[in-house]
A and B are shown apart, each in its own frame.
Chain A
Amino acid sequence: MSSTAVFAKASPLDALQNWLPKLVLAPSMLIVLVGFYGYIFWTFLLSFTNSRFMPSYKWVGFQQYLRLWDNDRWWVASKNLLVFGGLFIAISLVIGVVLAVLLDQRIRREGFIRTVYLYPMALSMIVTGTAWKWLLNPGLGLDKLLRDWGWDGFRFDWLVDPDRVVYCLVIAAVWQSSGFVMALFLAGLRGVDPSIIRAAQVDGASLPSIYLRIVLPSLRPVFFSALMILAHIAIKSFDLVAAMTAGGPGYASDLPAMFMYAHTFTRGQMGLGAASAMLMLGAVLAIIVPYLYSELRNKRHD
């Protein structure tokens, strides 16, 4: 209407204010688009080339994937991942749930006990691996300890046993992560409405059956979160293997992450490494996408 109002409309400072949010987010958007998705695409391209020590862009189609398929070491790594991941997840979940339920019984010094269970999570996998490598040392570790304590003939040499070395990884990883599962479930248990439990008690249910039939089933979301995170840790596990076994003996304890690193950066098989990285991404996606999908769908129902 009046001319003053028109001037106010076009104030350059206001225009800047309107652009500020976008301006502030722009660097991060660039980082994400290039550093996440651009790089994934780049790796994707490399996996179709015959790159060795240096990137080359000679297209070889699916050749690298076929080489992976024929590669015994890749199969060992994948199989190890299944064994390691499966056991690690299952054992961590069981231990975590049991400890959480026990800790939920009005334990004195709960804070201290919780702190003890969770501290390994603060350590680097390299430190964890170094410690367990020493603990499981055939000859000087637990092996000797139990013999010294009178268990004659006790042998524990899984760390150098190609068939059992993967279980050593499981032990160390469970030690590191089960306290975290405990913490997740304990938080979940604290969120359960106590009146539900009182109602069940009035109905005459015993405490174990209340937990098994009512409380734990209501923690399904926590269960899935824990499952997701553990699976994610398992797939990305690289440092633990590097520190504990370096993939050995031979390549008996190789995991895909280790395989990828070894081929890409030390063996000059960049194309093959890129292909293995893409398969790892595929594995993560196969777990994440259904999870996110169900999460989002549930949210929409709320």
Chain B
Amino acid sequence: MASLELRNVHKRYGSGLPDTLKNIDLKIESGEFLILVGPSGCGKSTLMNCIAGLEDITGGEILVEGSDISGMSPKDRDIAMVFQSYALYPTMNVRDNIAFGLKMRKVPQEKIDEEVARVAKLLQIEHLLTRKPSQLSGGQQQRVAMGRALARRPKIYLFDEPLSNLDAKLRVEMRTEIKLMHQRLKTTTVYVTHDQIEAMTLGDKVAVMKDGIVQQFGTPQQIYNDPANLFVASFIGSPPMNFIPLRVQRQGGQWLAILDSGQARCELPLTVADDAALEGRDVILGVRPEQIVVGKGDVGLPAVRAEVDVIEPTGPDTLVFVSLNDTKVCCRMAPDLAPQVGESLTLQFDPAKVLLFDAQSGERLGAQPAERPRNVAQFKGR
């Protein structure tokens, strides 16, 4: 296994075209699991192809164990990839599919047999070895695709949305299995997905991408609790974070956010550092549904009463929607505490947990400079 570092990676398809990838800086240690997540068209798959060598980069360096591989052809990079469509060779049986990469590398036959047996056992596909891919279920094809990558024992594994062709149940199962596999084998892995749950559950590190730029790079917890901007905050989390547009007011050296439910108002003191920046600005208050304290009696936090508009029971939780500052706000409650539609509910907000974003730029306001992700800081310097 090997460490992987991307330094200032740049990709553009033609001179007149916009950049597909801009100044990508990422680094993971040997054995770490990196998630590239973002909406379609954000450049995550392009970035993965660049790492694999299937596409050339137009600037920067890709370092594996400290040495630049960016000019090498894919076969020399010692990287294996699992594709969304599995890309199993349809005319070869499972055994030949797994063995193909080893044959191409002129590995002796006994060694190939040994490796095929090893991965087949590992993935529990021993009984499928003589079948053709068309005779396999989606989940089995997925395993074979992983087996093909594992057999080569490459330095780095790439997964390109490997679970998105599976049905929901199988997807959850395979997700756990990939996680288990990674815990056992400690393989350096880069995993592309658009599914934020996969991003949260699988990754040691997560890079959230949009428009060819890494919006934030950090651990899943950092991404979830301390998003760098509105995009990251909205992309990660389900149900998504509530965004309440408002103006802040200054009162006795303290910034206050005013929340208005129509029947009541609440002044929420803000714990932001950057005082002057807030003056007269449109801001957006971000608060996750589970961070709104409801139905637990007074816990001594700023509170506002609001009427319940809609109730959505999901089973484990019930989502309750109210209206604040003319915006729909979602709160997550235990089902047994859930109110009826039309009832009023007391919402309490923890000032330490709410986030503030600039309404225009979407940048986070008032976060500690030290917590700022590295590449955002770099951008300002450019």
Contacts and interface: CB of A to CB of B under 8 A. Distances in A.
A–B contact with Cβ pairs below 8 Å: the answer is yes
A5 B73 contact: no
A17 interface: yes
Given A1-B68, A2-B68, A8 B76 contact: yes
A14 interface: yes
Interface residues of B, number: 10
Contacts of A11: 73, 76
Contacts of A109: none
A1 B73 CA distance: 16
A5 B66 contact: no
A11 B76 CA distance: 11
Contacts of B68: 1-2, 5
Contacts of B66: 1-2
Nearest to A1: B68
A195 interface: no
B67 A9 contact: no
Contacts of A2: 66-68
Interface string B37-60: 000000000000000000000000
B377 interface: no
Interface in A5-40: 5-6, 8-9, 11, 14, 17
A92 to B, nearest CB: 39
B61 interface: yes
B92 interface: no
Interface in B202-257: none
- Give the dominant DSSP class at A's interface: helix
Nearest to A6: B71
Contacts of B71: 5-6, 8-9
B73 A17 contact: yes
A2 B68 CA distance: 7
A4 B71 CA distance: 11
Nearest to B67: A2
Interface in B64-82: 66-69, 71-73, 76
A6 B71 CA distance: 8
A14 B76 CA distance: 10
Contact of A4 (B61, B63, B67): B67
A1 B72 contact: no
A8 B72 contact: yes
Contacts of B63: 1
Nearest to A9: B71
A3 to B, nearest CB: 9
A220 B12 CA distance: 41
Contacts of B73: 8, 11, 14, 17
Contacts of B67: 1-2, 4-5
A11 B63 CA distance: 19
Nearest to B77: A8
A182 to B, nearest CB: 33
Interface string A154-165: 000000000000
Contacts of B76: 8, 11, 14
A5 B71 CA distance: 8
Contacts of A5: 67-69, 71-72
Contacts of A9: 71-72
Contacts of B69: 5, 8
Nearest to B7: A1
Contacts of A14: 73, 76
Nearest to A4: B67
B171 to A, nearest CB: 29
B89 to A, nearest CB: 20
8 smallest CB-CB distances across A and B, nearest first, come from: A9-B71, A1-B68, A2-B67, A8-B72, A14-B73, A5-B68, A5-B67, A1-B67
Given A4-B67, A9-B71, A17-B73, 7 more contacts: A1-B68, A5-B68, A5-B69, A5-B71, A8-B76, A9-B72, A14-B76
